[in-house]
Amino acid sequence: MSFSITGKTAIVTGGANGIGLAIGRHFADKGANVMFADMDEKQLVKQLGKNEEGSNQRYFAGDLREKLTLANLLSATIDAFDQVDILVNASRQVMVSDPLNPDDDAVESLLRQNLITALRTSQLVAKRMIKQAEGSESGVAGTIVNLSSIAARRAHPDLLGFSISSAALEQMTRSLAVALAPHRIRVNAVAFGSVMSASLQDTLREHRDYRSDIEEHTPLGRIASATELAEAVQYLACDGSGFITGQIMTVDGGRSLLDPVAAPAH
């Protein structure tokens, strides 16, 4: 079974920064056509340069919380690459929430950003995958990979909204996997702990003792590289995982196996 994604077309949301950008670049390096989607157009231009026709890296800027924007994203992808084989829902937001403040809208905001956006994007892209697979009896019609967090199964007072939205995303993954299995679309998720993204690097510069705290509470004793996370996503997106669906792959160096006393996941 092949682990190659060469020639596949992937949409990667949250593609202007951090984890989404790292996954998109990794996919492009492995020979995939990648549509980087994000609302931060300036950052997309900064990271990817000109949106050149014929390149295997293209970008789309817009607010993915809007249905019309999602439809335009899909159209732009089809116009650029003719099809879509992989969707990576990497657009996610972490927000501190007050668990005792009824006026705090962090839970609603994060459910919309981290859950509803991923659900609507998945539904729209899945319809396209089903359509383009009509008449074909071979292989998988498409794959969807959601990015979750070990916060889905670990409680932290300041991360109420993020934990709830992550847990909901994981249940969405399982439910969509069952719903889309008859159409030969696989749906999985990666729940990760601390990954050396740009945002975590900024945090470590501000709080130098934070790194040792993370490493102390991670059995493998280190923070994952963005490439390691991207490779896990690639595995779930490729034919090598062809009989895997509805699963949550944990990439955290063993951190979630310990008592939940470590610093919150990033």
At 177-217, the pLDDT tens digits run 999 999 999 999 999 988 887 777 777 777 777 788 888 88
Is pLDDT at 152 greater than 60 in this prediction?
Answer: yes
**Residue 1 clears pLDDT 60, i.e. is over it:** no
Q: How far is CA 51 from CA 58, 114, 130, 185, 214, in A?
A: 6, 27, 28, 29, 38
Give the number of other CB atoms < 10 A from CB of residue 178. Answer: 11
Token pair 């991923």: residue: 118
pLDDT tens by residue, 83-124? 999 999 999 888 788 888 887 788 999 999 999 999 999 999
User: Does pTM top 0.75 for this prediction?
Assistant: yes
Nearest to 107 by CA among 189, 18, 190, 168: 168
Q: How many CB atoms lie within 10 A of CB 40?
A: 14
Among the ranges given (126-130, 152-156, 239-243, 259-263), the one the predictor scored with the smallest mean pLDDT: 259-263
Indicate the pLDDT class of residue 264, thresholds 50, 70 and 90: very low
How far apart, in whole angstroms, are the C-alpha atoms of residue 65 and residue 235?
28
Residue 185: strand pairing partners: 142
Who wins on pLDDT, 132 or 261?
132
CATH class of 9-257: alpha beta
Average pLDDT over residues 26-35: 98
Closest CA to 147 of 92, 73, 95, 65: 92
* CA gap 100, 116 in Å, rounded: 24
